Structure 1
């Protein structure tokens, strides 16, 4: 569902829209994104309902979309914090983007919940923020499986 190739560490991202576009571009390497513009539109439509900032400097933009064949996750740690217009007003330092088809609703909810739990854990947040590269960031995710 996630690969080190889809993790961007210390990436230049000017704003929320730029961040989401970069994550979609990274996900295109999976071969599962049929229409990146449609996926972007679906994610931004979801974002318009309410910010996907979950607090503590983290956001999880997500959407169901016909533009992607199966549920995928990408992550981005920006060089500079990004304003996600979250309810707490805190800028975002960790972004996990998740997208998948409607048929994957059960998986979507499980993964979304797991990512949210990880990001609310100060120890994991610190590990993600301190990871020197995509492989180390991915290794932190893999530690959560044990």
Structure 2
């Protein structure tokens, strides 16, 4: 699974300030609406519902919020780089500044899991995260995410 099939350039954003986890999830709702035409509020609610099951902050400043959502025919993603880290109740109790959200159809079983594993594998790479943090331009962030994916697949 290639990230360029999940993520599109319009779904990559740099946020100068998100004051809280809730505000970050709202940013993801807005981004999902503008990039994929998904209604923002139900997206935020679905992400929050998933967070209530257990935080998706995986450590080292990275969060992978995800949710199943009606109205999708495939897994799609959105990426946000935060200039100022926020508390996300991460497993290592550190704030996050790199967040990749996945939205999957309700019926997506293995595809959702494959996409989550792919993104997780990529964002566990310290070199990739360092490049992301050093490039606050959405076009460059998209290129780093999709190019790193191709290199890892080779």
* Gaps in structure 2 of 5+ consecutive residues: 1-5
Are positions 1:117 and 2:115 aligned together? no
Q: 1:55 aligns with which of 54, 59, 63?
A: 59
| Aligned length in residues | 145
C-alpha displacement at 1:36, in angstroms? 2.3
* Gaps in structure 1 of 5+ consecutive residues: none
CA change 1:135–1:142 in 2 (3 A) is same
In the alignment, the residues of structure 1 paired with residue 86 and residue 70 of structure 2 have an alpha-carbon distance, to the nearest angstrom, of: 28
Normalization by structure 2: what TM-score? Answer: 0.87
Aligned residue number for residue 90 of structure 2: 86
Are positions 1:99 and 2:103 aligned together? yes
Normalization by structure 1: what TM-score? Answer: 0.91
C-alpha displacement at 1:72, in angstroms? 1.3
Aligned residue number for residue 44 of structure 1: 48
Are positions 1:22 and 2:27 aligned together? yes
Q: 2:12 aligns with which of 4, 7, 15?
A: 7
**Structure 1 consecutive aligned stretches of length 4 or more whose deviation exceeds 4 Å:** none
8 Å contact 1:71–1:100 — kept in the other structure? yes
Aligned residue number for residue 112 of structure 2: 108
8 Å contact 1:65–1:102 — kept in the other structure? yes
8 Å contact 1:39–1:68 — kept in the other structure? no
The alignment partner of 1:98 has SS state of strand
Q: CA RMSD in A?
A: 1.5
The alignment partner of 1:95 has SS state of strand
